[in-house]
A and B are shown apart, each in its own frame.
Chain A
Amino acid sequence: MAETNGVHAAVDIPADKAEILARPLEERDDIVVCENVHKWFGDFCAVRDVSMRVKRGEVVVIFGPSGSGKSTFIRMINRLEEHQQGRIVIDGIEMTNDVRNLDAIRREVGMVFQQFNLFPHITVLGNITLAPQRVRHLPRSEAEALAMQLLERVGIPEQAGKYPAELSGGQQQRVAIARALAMQPQIMLFDEPTSALDPEMIKEVLDAMRELAATGMTMLCVTHEMGFAREVADRMAFFDEGALVELGPPDQIFNDPQEDRTKMFLDQIL
């Protein structure tokens, strides 16, 4: 596929990122801190007592059975869901009801959804330049240059003028990734980014995510692509019934799970 060529092109990593990446994980700072986080929907406890620290530049894959609170958890990290107990700190910014904090956090955190959620009434280019222009107040020319650069990076610069509906699912998801990156976030959240895709399109999206991980982006991905997890994740988090059951490197999760529930779930899906 000619159009995915851009994905594998050598990535240039900014100097400050490179410096951080050069350090081993344990010497980096925590960019996401969750302490005893709870979330209820009515009486139902969707996320219970989750504590997790994510290092700068770390890739964490979150997996677990359906309804285990994975989406709810990562949606709390950019406040699409409000946590009701516990503490969340994103890159030093405390998650509170203060609008300024919220704005700052939304700038730090980009998100990619299962259903892409591209804006169907504007072109691909418009989708990517909207937030940089309206939120970061970039001039249009700059926003467009940035957008073209990002489209280049996800391998579909020639689609800039089309409307989302004119693209394949895989192309749409790559646009969604470019759209989130255009806000130049420090952290990227992915909620089952390949679940709505046909098998032949999954690879192109995973390739874009691999490339992103290689640039030192901090990533929290809900996914059941275990090949991707084994290859890219620094740590994996297993959720069940709203709780974080096990958190460890892929090696441990796959070969030596500490919890029975983790082992049972992996036996089912592998």
Chain B
Amino acid sequence: MTARAAPAPLPPATTVGLQGWLRQNLFSSRGNSVVTVVLAVVLAWFVFNLGSWVFVEADWTVIISRAPLYIVGLYPYEGYWRLCICLLLISVLLGMSWRAWPNAARRFAFGFGAVILFVGVFPHEMAPEHRALLLLNLPAIGLGYVLTPRPADASPGRLEAIAGGTLAPALERGAIFSTPRRMISAALVALVLTMILILGIAGVPGLDPVNPQDLGGLMINLLLAFFGIVCSLPIGVGLALGRRSSLPILKVACVIFIEVIRGVPLITLLFMSRHILPLTFPEDLNIDRVYLAGITITIFSSAYMAENVRGGMAAVHPGQAEAARALGLRDWQNTLLITLPQGLRNIIPAIVGQFISLFKDTSLVYFIGMLDLVEMGRVSVQGNQEFIDNGREVYLFIALVFWVFCFSMSFISRRIEGVLGVGRR
């Protein structure tokens, strides 16, 4: 009975390890070897040239000397500390997400921390108190992490351990549901505080109101995209439910709204919001262009959101609705409790994708005279004789900033998809 199976034969050395990988992927035939070598040479040449330009020839003064303009626009200097505190709030939320959904948020938290550290220690002009507030983000992430209870649904093993006795259900429910709920309330509080800090309140010392027109730079791109997505979600859900409804008038109204908005470029909507809509306002109603832009972007985004939501709900298996009906749930209960939650969950990656494209689209607000990141770059170059030759530096920087944000978003989105896979059929 002790006869042991012969050890499994090892694969040939040429198919494993670095050597095997190289052989299989780059040098599998003579033709492939030639292509590999040629591409490697071209790539090296390209990287070398770009690198020597970036590190030797390029003059980054145009960015470094004006850094705050790209980040926050004309926001008053006295208020910078308020923005720093907003960032701290975001860091706490990030730390909480890290704890609650480690698989989705951990690496992002690391990346965010690295960027903060880099900007915080980079030897450029910055008031020491702002530098200190910036570096405080690192402990803030840790604080958020520590404040959050460890989720139970992270590992099935732990779940089993909790669910031992009959007390299990109560414990389970607490562990699974308390985390997101706490997250949602924390996020709402942070959102309100952020808005108060950014815009200020008249009469409160230290919180002098800021003219909304002074909001600019990357901050305005992020704010518009964020509020666009957050506000368009409920509107989009409403439109999608309307489109699915059996009331013909409601249905037609929603279809018309969605198709009209989706059929028009954002830039024309912005134009109309600035130049045509005000004609219909009462004389004394003067809505700031920042809010007009926000409303327009929200409306634009809602139409796409509605279609996403509808698609997500349509993808829910029809058996779900049958089970709900068989249990005696009404149609509206089925929609709200069964179909909509599953539909929304189906479209989380699509929502992130929409956020990415909306974030890029917000650069169109230059069209109604706002100084977003891209427009600020253009003004820096064309408005200053000394930087007239630095267009390349500016646009490379802007592209890098957009890329970093969009890449992080799609990275998170893929992580979330992985995490959501757990609870699904």
- Show the binding face of A for B, using Cβ within 8 Å: 78-80, 103, 106-107, 109-111, 113, 115, 117-121, 123, 125, 130-131, 134-135, 144, 147-148, 157-166, 176, 179-180, 183
Contact = CB atoms under 8 A, between A and B. Distances in A.
B164 to A, nearest CB: 7
Nearest to B338: A119
Interface in B163-183: 163-164, 166, 168-173, 176
B29 interface: no
A164 B425 contact: yes
Contacts of A165: 422-425
B320 A119 contact: yes
B166 A111 contact: no
A4 B168 CA distance: 19
A110 B324 CA distance: 11
Nearest to A151: B169
Contacts of B160: 158
B291 to A, nearest CB: 36
Contacts of A179: 327
B323 A121 contact: no
B423 A121 contact: yes
A117 B337 contact: no
Given A131-B329, A135-B328, A161-B162, 14 more contacts: A80-B326, A110-B326, A117-B317, A117-B320, A119-B320, A120-B342, A120-B423, A120-B424, A121-B424, A131-B328, A158-B163, A158-B168, A160-B163, A161-B176
13 contacts: A106-B328, A107-B328, A113-B322, A120-B425, A121-B424, A125-B169, A131-B328, A135-B327, A144-B170, A161-B162, A162-B156, A166-B156, A183-B327
B319 interface: yes
A162 B159 contact: yes
Contacts of B176: 123, 161
A130 B171 CA distance: 18
A21 B425 CA distance: 40
A134 B422 contact: no
Interface in B268-293: none
Contacts of A109: 326
B213 to A, nearest CB: 44
Contacts of A115: 317, 319
A80 B323 CA distance: 9
A152 to B, nearest CB: 9
Contacts of B162: 161
Contacts of A120: 342, 423-425
Interface of B: 152-153, 156, 159-160, 162-164, 166, 168-173, 176, 317, 319-320, 322-329, 333, 337-338, 341-342, 345, 422-425
Given A103-B328, A131-B329, A135-B328, A161 B319 contact: no
Contacts of B423: 120-121, 163, 165
Contacts of A162: 156, 159, 163
A157 B171 CA distance: 14
A117 B326 CA distance: 11
A221 B327 CA distance: 18
A161 B172 contact: yes
A152 B342 CA distance: 28
B327 A125 contact: no
Main secondary structure of the interface of B (DSSP, over half): helix
Given A117-B320, A135-B327, A180-B327, A160 B338 contact: no
Contacts of A80: 322, 325-326
A160 B345 contact: no
A180 B327 CA distance: 7
Contacts of B163: 158-162
Contacts of B319: 113, 115, 117
Contacts of A130: 327, 329, 337
Contact of A158 (B164, B328, B342, B424): B164
Chain B CB count within 10 A is highest, among A118, A148, A163, A183, for: A163
Contacts of B152: 161
B312 to A, nearest CB: 12
Given A120-B424, A158-B163, A166-B156, A134 B338 contact: no
Nearest to A164: B425
Contacts of B317: 115, 117
Q: Which 5 A-B pairs have the closest CB atoms?
A: A161-B172, A117-B323, A131-B327, A106-B328, A117-B319
Contacts of A121: 341-342, 345, 423-424
Nearest to A108: B328
A35 B97 CA distance: 60
A130 B71 CA distance: 48
Nearest to A179: B327
B328 A160 contact: no
Contact of A160 (B169, B320, B325): B169
Contacts of B324: 119
B323 A119 contact: yes
A107 B319 CA distance: 19
Contacts of A159: 163
A207 to B, nearest CB: 22
B130 to A, nearest CB: 44
Given A115-B319, A135-B327, A163 B172 contact: no
Chain A CB count within 10 A is highest, among B166, B320, B341, B425, for: B425
Contact of A134 (B171, B326, B337): B337
B169 A106 contact: no
A163 B169 contact: no
B168 A78 contact: no
B199 to A, nearest CB: 37
Contact of B328 (A119, A163, A166, A183): A183
Contacts of A147: 169
B313 to A, nearest CB: 13
